[in-house]
Amino acid sequence: MKPELDDQPCPCQSGSSYGACCRPYHRGKAKAPTAEALMRSRYTAYVLGEIDYLVKTTHPAVRRTDLWIQYKQTHDTIRWIGLEVVKTAQGSVRDKTGKVEFKASYVQEGRHAVHHELSRFRRHGGDWHYVDGVIEDVSA
Ligand SMILES: [Zn+2]
């Protein structure tokens, strides 16, 4: 990871720099306090290729053995270009479960598309984890 990346706008489009936004989560210096924060940090991990983080923040109940390879292949073949959080339900610092609906824009093999997903999150060992999502792919 290049140090100057810290000063760039965070890929999750929070308005903060990467160093002040998702990086502390990727580096294990802090835990995402809400389901939305975890979702944003996972999006940024997709963008930057933080594969270990994606695996680590997947709920152990659904963490298949080939997950690392799957995330790596996604990172290698898809270029993520934008994130819009549509809405959230629960997932606050006081909740144990949460849902985040988002639209993530990407380019794959020259094709522009939007990944529209309603993700479910659950705490495990006190920390937010991704469980699963209902996915709808729509053309941009
Ligand atoms: Zn961020």
Q: For 10-59, how does the pLDDT look when each residue is reduced to its tens digit (9 = 90+)?
A: 999 999 999 999 999 999 999 999 999 999 999 999 999 999 999 999 99
Ligand 1 centre to CA of 111 (Å) is 25
CA of 10 to the centre of ligand 1 (A): 5
The answer regarding whether domain 3-139 maps to CATH 3.30.1160.10 reads no
Distance 77 CA to ligand 1 centre (A): 22
Q: What are the residues facing 105 on neighbouring strands?
A: 82, 114
Per-residue model confidence (pLDDT) at position 19: 96
Q: How many Å lie between the centroid of ligand 1 and the Cα of residue 42? A: 9
pLDDT band at 136 (very low <50, low <70, confident <90, very high): confident
Q: 93 CA to middle of ligand 1, Å?
A: 18
Q: What pLDDT does residue 129 have?
A: 98
104-108 contacts, C-beta under 8 A, 24 or more apart: 104/43, 104/46, 104/80, 105/80, 105/81, 105/140, 106/78, 106/79, 106/80, 106/81, 107/78, 107/79, 107/81, 108/77, 108/78, 108/79
pLDDT digits (tens, 9 = 90+) for 83-128: 999 999 999 999 999 999 999 999 999 999 999 999 999 999 999 9
Under the banding of pLDDT at 50, 70 and 90, the label for residue 66 is very high
Please tell me the predicted confidence (pLDDT) of residue 140.
Answer: 46
- Given a cut of 60, is residue 1 above it in pLDDT? no
Question: 36 CA distance to ligand 1 centroid (A)?
Answer: 10
As a whole number of angstroms, the distance between CA 30 and CA 18 comes to: 14
